[in-house]
């Protein structure tokens, strides 16, 4: 079994390598402290975050809590046999406790200098409009964050997610462009910003073109049922292929502007901050929009399997694109191509399978997915303060036990 080295430092001794690694770690920590000073602009996370602040059950055999009381990662081994993850097992990520919103008094307001007239709609008004159902994948920007610690020896800021902050559902609602048409877009309309009714009033603008895309929805239902409160009831945005924070939950207002809009969630948070990234004023780094290609196995980490012929399944996702192929390697064996199992369409993960005659002992399974633009998962990713977008090739440890 072979392990990929964390950091290659040719030509220097062990002690010197350790010193260099220590200096790198110190630099990363100092950078984090500088960024933390700017993050004081964000709403504070109060003491309630130490206990669950969600409504649906989060049993430990299904979910791994991330320490905030609001964030729960799904065990990938429990995604299920189909493309869609059951709502009861769908991961949770939010900045504050789940709000309780009365459907009968809730209103959606669309306003701003980018519309011709403000519009107010009730839940019944929106439910009466033509509905569309789309299967799409939602992924948190921090999915895989724990691997920054394993790679760099410094913990990136935020919940230490494995690879379970991702899920796919059937979303039903109204195309956002149809709702915006009711308000009438003004000449020069540029940014569209949904605003949540949660304690932090999370809001994040998107360019008009993404808001008008055919598969951008204001969703009322998830997997055939009304949205659960934890998943955005009464209405949430579905922004296929984009970072999860763009999928604003508990929407109460949508502002359309002729100017570029900025909030903490596209200037301080959900941007790439680190030595390899330049600032994009007023953002502290490049703003995260579309998600990169990623792959994972439907196994616990580490996993235990019985010896003998077996089929291991996984999922691959390419954001706004599709998955061209998934390659796999077991230990030091040659790379092989996995079998893909549809659907394989933009904005949706696809399943794949690996046939393996498992021999007793400790092994690692390596994966590398490639998207339809020919972009593969990299061997490594640069450090960033928030630990976003970790999609590097990583080994999945598997212990194979002898069968009687």
231 vs 117: CA distance, rounded Å: 30
* Per-residue pLDDT tens digits for 177-205: 999 999 999 999 999 999 999 999 999 99
Confidence of residue 403 (pLDDT cuts 50, 70, 90): confident
CATH class given for the domain over 47-266: alpha beta
Contact 352, 340 (CB under 8 A): yes
Q: The tokens of 6 are what?
A: 């964390």
pLDDT(22) > 80: no
Q: Does domain 294-401 have CATH number 2.102.10.10?
A: no
Contact 267, 205 (CB under 8 A): no
Of 127, 123, 128, 98, nearest to 108 by C-alpha is: 123
Task: Sketch the domain layout of the chain as residue ranges.
Answer: 47-266, 294-401
110 vs 193: CA distance, rounded Å: 10
How open is the CA angle 74-80-81, to the nearest 5 degrees? 155
Which pLDDT score, from 0 to 100, does residue 14 have? Answer: 36
pLDDT(289) > 80: yes
Point out which residues pair with 59 in neighbouring strands: none
* Per-residue pLDDT tens digits for 256-275: 999 999 999 999 999 999 99
Contact 172, 27 (CB under 8 A): no
pTM for the model:
0.89
- Beta strand 251-257 with 107-111: parallel, antiparallel or unpaired? parallel
Q: What rounded mean pLDDT belongs to the chain? A: 90
Residue tagged 């789940």 (tokens): 98
Contact 171, 219 (CB under 8 A): yes
pLDDT(310) > 80: yes
């Amino acid at each position: 079994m072979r392990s990929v080295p964390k950091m290659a430092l040719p030509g220097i001794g062990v002690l010197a390598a350790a010193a260099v690694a220590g200096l790198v770690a110190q630099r990363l920590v100092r950078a984090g402290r500088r960024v933390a000073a700017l993050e004081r602009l964000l709403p504070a996370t109060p003491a309630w975050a130490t206990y669950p602040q969600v409504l649906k059950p989060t049993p430990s055999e299904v979910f791994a809590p991330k320490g905030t009381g609001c964030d729960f990662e799904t065990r990938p081994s429990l995604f299920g046999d189909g493309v869609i993850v059951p709502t009861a097992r769908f991961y949770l990520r939010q900045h504050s406790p789940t709000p309780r919103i009365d459907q009968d008094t809730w209103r959606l307001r669309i306003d701003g200098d980018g519309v011709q007239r403000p519009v107010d709609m009730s839940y019944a008004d929106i439910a009466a409009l033509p509905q569309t159902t789309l299967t799409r994948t939602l992924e948190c920007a921090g999915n895989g964050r724990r691997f920054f610690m394993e790679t760099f020896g410094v913990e990136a800021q935020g919940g230490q997610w494995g690879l379970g902050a991702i899920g796919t559902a059937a979303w039903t609602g109204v195309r956002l462009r149809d709702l915006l048409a009711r308000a009438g877009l003004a000449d020069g309309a540029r940014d569209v910003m949904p605003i949540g009714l949660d304690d932090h009033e999370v809001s994040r603008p998107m360019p008009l073109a993404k808001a008008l895309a055919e598969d951008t929805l204001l969703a009322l239902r998830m997997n055939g049922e009304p949205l659960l409160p934890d998943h955005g009831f009464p209405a949430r945005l579905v922004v296929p292929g984009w970072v999860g924070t763009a999928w604003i939950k508990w929407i109460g207002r949508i502002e359309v502007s002729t100017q570029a809009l900025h909030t903490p969630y596209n200037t301080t948070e959900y941007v790439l901050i680190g030595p390899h990234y330049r600032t994009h004023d007023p953002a502290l780094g490049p703003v995260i929009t579309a998600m990169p290609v990623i792959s994972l196995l439907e196994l616990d980490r580490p996993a235990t399997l019985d010896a003998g012929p077996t089929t291991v399944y996984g999922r691959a996702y390419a954001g706004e694109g599709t998955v061209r192929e998934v390659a796999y390697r077991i230990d030091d064996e040659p790379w092989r191509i996995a079998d893909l199992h549809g659907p394989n369409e933009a904005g949706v993960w696809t399943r794949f399978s690996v046939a393996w005659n498992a021999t007793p002992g400790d092994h690692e399974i390596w994966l590398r997915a490639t998207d339809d633009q020919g972009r593969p998962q990299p061997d490594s990713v640069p450090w960033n303060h928030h630990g976003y977008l970790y999609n590097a090739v990583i080994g999945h440890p598997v212990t194979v036990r002898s069968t009687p």
